[in-house]
């Protein structure tokens, strides 16, 4: 259903109140925002020319959800379930989101991690219907005109990828847009941003994945990746077009290689309302788990020493966030950085090495730490002892890091160690899970990265929490939109982390749980949104409140009301025929 066949009518807070429909008959059911399937009532069927095109029986949304749950259960595996839910989304957005909301803990594993990894890899062979935008060298010069076609949807959030650093599986070419689709579904679930205000975008600059280039079914731009000035020019042209068409929309950068992720985030921070979830969202969710852990320990953040294995987007993002939080608690930048140690695939990060720019901040010098030149790459226990490490964080899955010897070493420094294995788990070795069970029983606090079947089983039995970015980015997005923030500040992610940690009850902390369950994504999104919005107000980057009925409230009360009123729920909207 093309844009001239429907129009959204908003209330004064920007929430969709009804949909005005200019078409009739089959065109009405071709638009996933308008289509209600068997839930069209008799009046709507007459008004929209749908009489006799549907069976006479009418179902309400709850009944449709129940039928859909049965159909999902009948699918043979998770990828078939993914295809079913995505197809439903393409037909009936409201029903798809109502289904997901009915059991978010179950369905998030289908629409996002871990199933999304398979969907990315099979994107071309599974392709059924176009979603979002694919910019490539053949159309990037027309980016502004192409984006304007979506102006009628009042785009508020775009998730944008160049497909190079996908979910720990690397360069996946055009398939990376599937991650954008999944993340935007979580914006709708966690933040209540209506699906029509969301836009997934692939910046297809080619791929260096030889398997894709040789695949006859591959749908992406079949060339080697652009690099250097050509690449930067392409990204710059997109950023200018997006800013010109959607100056108030949030742009989330997703799945870029580490080098590009940091340079793009920093290059456009003043031009776009933007952030990088792989860097900043990962940093915030890790900090939230750490804040919960120090509550359990009865210690301060400054009392801890951190060792991070992995100096890519996630690892450096965690380092940045820890540094920001430590400075917020009164330390100087040098004092904060002296508490954060990092290793990568080449070994300990010190200032004797040639380092990428984004790693240099965390390099240690021999003058301050005389022992740093003597540490072997895989001598993790030795490093833990010399640096006094109390928190062990891994963003890569190399098995020399989380070993019994490392755990024994960290127990010499603290009675309650914290370990965060945050690498992507598509399938986790059983021996690693056995170790986690054993360490949990020993009183070691643990939170893992994204789910897999073996780790899911431990969440209930051993209170092993999941550090899922879905607990961060939806609320950050909603807080930015609600406050009208003109830029996304690092402090927003610190505020988000503290807000998440504050949600943990004394009973949960006593059991060793560090993070809310993903089933609370909507409550967490609201709490994070308020914290981010108030951080924006405090920093002076938000717009003044213009709603007359809020004027007698203080800033926080106004923001609470606004957040409540702008959140979309998956409920059928009234339709008005024109």
Supply the residues annotated as catalytic.
112, 183
Query: Which residue's structure tokens are 């009046």?
Result: 43
Distance CA 192, CA 189 (A): 6
- Cβ proximity of 258 and 312 under 8 Å: yes
Question: Which contacts qualify for 540-547: CB closer than 8 Å, 24 or more apart?
Answer: 541/483, 541/485, 541/486, 541/487, 541/489, 542/483, 542/484, 542/485, 542/486, 543/483, 543/484, 543/486, 547/12, 547/13
Q: What is the separation of C-alpha 558 from the centre of its chain, rounded to a whole number of angstroms?
A: 27
Nearest to 22, CA basis, from 49, 40, 41, 52 = 49
DSSP-based three-state secondary structure for 543: coil
Q: What torsion do the CA atoms of 95, 98, 102, 104 make, to the nearest 10 degrees?
A: 110
- Cβ proximity of 340 and 325 under 8 Å: no
The widest CA-to-CA distance across the chain, in whole angstroms, is 82
- Enumerate residues 6+ apart whose C-beta is below 8 A from 56: none
Dihedral over Cα of 429, 431, 435, 437: its sign: positive
Percent of the chain as helix, strand, coil, to the nearest 5: 50, 10, 35
Nearest to 38, CA basis, from 58, 53, 56 = 58
Backbone angles phi, psi at 283, to 5 degrees: -60, -40
- Enumerate residues 6+ apart whose C-beta is below 8 A from 235: 162, 203, 264
């Amino acid at each position: 259903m093309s844009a001239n066949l429907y129009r959204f009518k908003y209330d004064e807070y920007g929430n969709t109140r009804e949909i005005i429909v200019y078409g009739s008959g089959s065109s009405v059911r071709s638009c996933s925002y308008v289509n209600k399937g068997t839930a069209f009532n008799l009046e709507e069927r007459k008004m929209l020319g749908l009489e006799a095109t549907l069976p006479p029986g009418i179902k309400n949304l709850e009944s449709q959800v129940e039928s859909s749950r049965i159909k999902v259960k009948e699918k043979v595996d998770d990828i078939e379930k993914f295809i079913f839910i995505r197809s439903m989304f393409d037909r009936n957005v409201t029903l798809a989101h109502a289904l997901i909301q009915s059991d978010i803990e179950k369905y998030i594993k289908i629409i996002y991690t871990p199933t999304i990894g398979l969907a990315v890899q099979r994107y071309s062979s599974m392709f059924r219907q176009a979603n979002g935008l694919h910019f490539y060298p053949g159309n990037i010069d027309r980016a502004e005109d192409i984006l304007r076609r979506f102006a009628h949807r009042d785009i508020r959030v775009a998730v944008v990828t160049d497909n190079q650093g996908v979910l720990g599986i690397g360069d996946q070419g055009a398939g990376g847009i599937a991650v954008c689709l999944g993340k935007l579904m979580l914006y709708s679930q966690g933040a209540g941003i209506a699906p029509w205000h969301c836009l997934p975008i692939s910046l297809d600059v080619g791929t260096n994945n030889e398997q894709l280039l040789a695949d006859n079914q591959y749908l992406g731009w079949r060339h080697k990746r652009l690099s250097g000035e050509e690449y930067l020019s392409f990204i710059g042209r997109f950023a200018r077009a997006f800013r010109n068409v959607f100056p108030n929309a949030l742009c989330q950068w997703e799945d870029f290689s580490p080098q590009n992720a940091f340079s793009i985030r920093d290059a456009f921070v003043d031009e776009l309302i933007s952030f990088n979830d792989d860097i900043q969202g990962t940093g915030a969710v890790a900090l939230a788990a750490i804040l919960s852990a120090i509550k359990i320990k009865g210690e301060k953040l400054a009392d801890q020493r951190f060792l991070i294995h992995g100096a890519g987007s996630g690892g450096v993002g965690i380092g940045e966030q820890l540094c920001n939080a430590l400075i917020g608690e009164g330390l100087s930048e040098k004092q904060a950085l002296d508490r954060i140690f990092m290793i990568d695939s080449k070994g300990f990060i010190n200032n004797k090495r040639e380092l990428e720019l984004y790693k240099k901040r965390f390099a240690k010098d021999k003058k301050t730490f005389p022992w740093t030149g003597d540490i072997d790459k895989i001598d993790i226990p030795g490093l833990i002892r010399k640096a006094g490490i109390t928190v062990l964080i891994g963003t890569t899955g190399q098995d020399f890091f989380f070993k019994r010897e490392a755990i024994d070493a960290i127990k010499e420094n603290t009675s309650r160690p914290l370990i965060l294995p945050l690498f992507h788990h598509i399938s986790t070795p059983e021996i690693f899970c056995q170790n986690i069970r054993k360490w949990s029983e020993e009183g070691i606090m643990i939170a893992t990265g994204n789910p897999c079947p073996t780790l899911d089983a431990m969440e209930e039995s051993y209170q092993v929490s999941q550090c899922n970015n879905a607990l961060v980015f939806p609320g950050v997005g909603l807080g930015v939109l609600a406050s009208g923030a003109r830029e996304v500040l690092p402090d927003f992610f610190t505020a988000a982390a503290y807000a998440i940690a504050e949600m943990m009850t004394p009973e949960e902390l006593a059991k060793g749980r560090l993070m809310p369950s993903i089933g609370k994504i909507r409550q967490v999104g609201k709490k994070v949104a308020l914290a981010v919005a108030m951080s924006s107000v405090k920093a002076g980057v938000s717009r003044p409140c213009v709603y007359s009925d809020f004027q007698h409230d203080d800033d926080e009360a106004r923001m609470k009301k606004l957040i409540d009123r702008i959140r979309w729920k998956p409920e059928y909207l009234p339709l008005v025929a024109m």
